[in-house]
Structure 1
Amino acid sequence: MIPEERREFGAQIAGLRKQRGMTQEELAAAIGRTSSWLSQVERGVQPVNRLDVLRRLADGLGVSLQNLRPDVPSVASASESEADDEIANDLDQARLVISGHPAPDVLLSPPSSPQAINIDDLRAAVENVWDLTHASRYADLSTVIGPLVPRLERAARTAPESEQSDVWLLLSRTYQALSAAFVRQDEPDAAWLAADRAISSAERSGEALHVFASIFRLVQAFVRLKHLDQGEHAAATAVSALRQHISDATARPEALSILGSMHLALALVYARSGNRTGAREEIKKAGEVAARLGEDRNDFNLEFGPTNTQIQAVSIAVELGDAGEAIDIGQGITSDDLSVERRARLAMDLGRAYAQRRQSGEALAYLLDAESLAPELIHTHVEARNAIRELILIAGRSASPELRALAERADAQP
């Protein structure tokens, strides 16, 4: 039995859509969903609980969020705990920050003399940005990014010449974090823009390796956009340049971290394109670089090393449909010293692997573990939500309350 409130909400959506003269296909395309999903919403079959999805619907229909759902409180009027629940996974503020020129006032009215800055304060703020990114606290990240990016952009253009290189580097690192967050929140168009700005800022800082770290973020955006040819080109040209730069006898650990990460990025590109041989070869090369590095490091916030290479091997095996191999590798990994995001990613991929093998109990346990570590990652990651839907379909009416609750939280009902 479909709840009456869902029927009424669906009828409201259908009515507003028809008033605008839109077909289901047109509205679905405008909000990044399928027409079958929208059809289920309009019939009351599919609930819509997540704030970001409600906002997309409202924007697509040309109405306010409160007009669509009067019971949804504004952030200003909600209690702190309610606001945290409502704005979770929301990077809207961060998207606004990268829209348009970041410091137009400086272009029109440049200061007559260099402006003093507190470089230590800026450096601490950027470290906080990466802490939030690694912890998958994207709503908090969006709030912090709002004032920080314009502040850094202005400082890069107005600081004393002796400090401009440092500020450009901090700006690049901030855009790198933002690109990583956008990728994980499945907003690859914004990730592309942030990565491109990271590349430009890194080059202006004079730190060449940070350019390559930014290219890594760009490749991740290309993969999410399914622009696999662009992803392959960006990663392969970077690997070629790094290979020429790195001596066989000696190499900076930071350069090895980037080289190994680029091989992992290429492995993902090849896995997504169905090139099993290429994917496995790149994982092998990444493993060789990790062995040469000899330890887990976090250069450029890439967390590259032997452990992360194994975690990526699990992910690649899942992408290739080799669930048994993914499980064998994953169960031998000790990831306690890595970030919350990396640990959550491993649990998520093991959940996906068990879902591929239709071992629902194990799949649910790992997905719940991942959710306990980084709820925003599980609630917004496309493949995680697909795995949850698959588990619901496998279980049918016998789906456990825990599974149904997880599907509800992730908006992942079939």
Structure 2
Amino acid sequence: MSSEERRAFGARVADLRKQNGQTQGELAAAIGRTASWLSQVERGIQPVNRLDVLRLLADGLGVPLQVLQPDAPPPPEAGPAPEPGTNDLDQARLVLTGHPSLDVLLKPHQGFDPDTLPDLRSSVDRIWELTHSGRFAELSAAIGPLVIRLERACRTAPTEHEPELHDLLARTYQALSAAFVRQSEADAAWIAADRAIRAAELSGDPLGVFAGTYRLCHAFVRLNHLDQAEHAAATAIGVLQRHVEANEPHPQHLSLLGSLHLMLALVHARSGERSSARQQIDAARSVGRQLGEDRNDFNLEFGPTNVEVQAVSTAVDLGDAGEALDIAKELRTDGLSSERQARLLMDLGRAHAQRRQYADSLDCLLRAEELAPEMIHTHAESRAVVRDLLLVAGRAASDELRALAERTDSLG
């Protein structure tokens, strides 16, 4: 948008809002943004280039998208509703339903076999492997029996084994929370993260509590509870920062601190707080330089490379597609998980779509699908960009795009 176009758009937003009798605070709250962001939009300072944000604003104002932005692509022709399907994590949700080991409560003296510990350790590692690779159907099938085994073991094992068993349980719930976030099952992610925090505390590992808090923040973001995400992340950062400044920092402390700065950058970006988001990216870069290498403490994959991957995502969230593409030119992500590489490609697809480079956008999405098909098929943001590509292409949509839309259930 040019400055003149921004001012005209902002005036249109302000007029529609006043016609509805809404205050800036009320409309901002309805669309998950801050009042200061909306004020900047209405004054023509903050551009709104992303189709999903335009659609969000139109919904908040209760008007068709074309009323808010006349040159926006028209909605697709109505077609048959897609067949209802099941979520790959439906079975995993049952793990969170009710108490995990009622029978142990009635028979508290059942024995625990320490020889099962090696198998439990490898099973938890396997759960994280499935999470990182986006193989959620396999994860859902495997995690139910594992959680039951661990919950039972935590209640029946001798005292000397309890810390490790609670640690394994915390790591399992963290993986489950991460998977739920990626499939937009935020309510379940919240429950899993809360259980991870409790198990980590019982294990005696305070850093596991911080890792669980990070997962909890992701659930809050998915629920659009940005104030809760900001509070939880900022509180954890304050405590960790004081500890790091007062002591010789361990790499795990730095991994958690840097990851929480990235979380706060995400929160600010989703709130449209450009300056604050960039400050948090810079803070994460500083921690990454201090750490000096890419690590995978608590399965966070934090390090200098991941900071730049998140910087790409933050720039896209802020509508700065050119900046996102420039950052990505210097990135080498071979050492990251397939899930993280696919996430970067998905964000690049979003960036190209913002710049109306639709062929490049589709290419990125298809490459991401090769790396982590389940993630691309179910991730809310990938499905949104596919829908936007369909809107723009209309009847001229390529067979490749239509096939991708069918695989991501984006035709409805």
Q: In 1, distance between residues paired with 2:370 and 2:125?
A: 24
d(CA) in 2 for partners of 1:49, 1:330:
37
Whole-Å separation in 1 of the counterparts to 2:406 and 2:122: 38
Pick from 196, 217, 220: which aligns with 1:219?
217
In 2, Cα distance between the equivalents of 1:195 and 1:249? Answer: 28
Aligned to 2:254: 256
Give the equivalent residue in structure 2 for 1:390: 388
Aligned equivalent of 1:108, options 86, 92, 106 = 106
TM superposition shift of 1:112: 6.0
The CA distance in 1 between the partners of 2:297 and 2:325, in whole Å, is 28
In the alignment, structure 1 residue 51 sits paired with structure 2 residue 89: no
1:269-300 per-residue CA deviation (whole Å, 9 max, x = no partner) reads 11111111111100000000001000000000
Task: Give TM-score, length-normalised by structure 2.
Answer: 0.80
Which segment drifts farther, 183-192 or 249-258? 249-258
Equivalent residues in 2 for 1:192-231, closer than 5 Å: 192-231=190-229
The CA distance in 2 between the partners of 1:386 and 1:147, in whole Å, is: 34
Give the match's secondary structure for 1:51. Answer: coil
Aligned-partner residue type, residue 393 of structure 1 = L
Letter in 2 for 1:242: L
Which aligned runs of 4 or more in structure 1 are off by greater than 6 angstroms? none
Deviation at 1:49, TM superposition (A): 4.6
Rounded to whole Å, the distance in 1 between the matches of 2:166 and 2:297 is 18
Deviation, 1:117, is 4.9
Which residue of the partner structure matches residue 236 of structure 1? 234
Whether contact under 8 Å (1:321, 1:356) holds in the other structure is yes
Residue by residue over 1:17-60, the C-alpha shift from the partner in whole angstroms, topping out at 9 and shown as x without a partner, is: xxxxxxxxxxxxxxxxx9xxxxxxxx9714415622xxxxxxxx
Deviation at 1:382, TM superposition (A): 1.0
**Candidates 359, 373, 376, aligned match of 1:375:** 373
Q: Deviations over 1:357-381 (max 9, x none)?
A: 1111100000000111111111111
Instruction: Give, as a single letter, the amino acid of the residue that structure 1 aligns with 2:245.
Output: S
**Structure 1, residues 184-209: CA drift from partner, whole Å, max 9, x if none?**
01000000000000000000000010
The aligned residue for residue 247 of structure 1 is 245
- Paired AA for residue 251 in structure 2: P
Q: In the alignment, which residue of structure 2 is the partner of 1:135?
A: 133
Two-structure CA RMSD over aligned residues (Å): 1.7
Q: C-alpha separation between the residues in 2 aligned to 1:249 and 1:228? A: 31
Check if 1:347 corresponds to 2:345.
yes
What is residue 4 of structure 1 aligned with on the other side? Answer: none
What are the ranges of 5 or more consecutive residues in structure 2 without an aligned counterpart? 1-58, 60-76
CA distance in 2, matches of 1:372, 1:381: 14
Equivalent of 1:165 in 163, 183, 197:
163
Higher relative contact order (CA 8 A, sep 6+): 2
Q: CA deviation at 1:402?
A: 0.5
Paired with 2:115 and 2:133, the residues of 1 have a C-alpha distance of 28
**Paired positions, count:** 338
The alpha-carbon deviation at position 93 of structure 1 amounts to 1.1
Contact 1:117-1:159 at 8 Å conserved across structures: no
Deviates more, 1:265-274 or 1:199-208: 265-274
- Look up the SS of the partner of 1:413 in the other structure: coil
Q: In the alignment, is residue 303 of structure 1 matched against residue 301 of structure 2? A: yes
Letter in 1 for 2:181: V
| Whole-angstrom distance in 2 between the partners of 1:50 and 1:368 | 24
* Cross-structure match for 1:179: 177
Partners of 2:320 and 2:84 lie apart in 1 by 32
Separation of aligned partners in 2, 1:204 and 1:241:
20
Report the equivalent of 2:10. Answer: none
Q: Secondary structure at the match of 2:245?
A: coil
Paired amino acid for 1:311: V
Aligned partner of 2:314 among 316, 328, 348: 316
| Aligned equivalents of 2:84, 2:408: Cα separation in 1 | 8
Distance 1:356 1:94 in 2: 35
Q: Equivalent residues in 2 for 1:146-157 (5 A)?
A: 146-157=144-155
Post-superposition Cα deviations, 1:126-170, rounded to whole Å, max 9, x if no partner, equal 000000000000000000001000100000110111101100000
Q: Does 1:362 align with 2:355?
A: no
Give me the identity figure in percent: 60
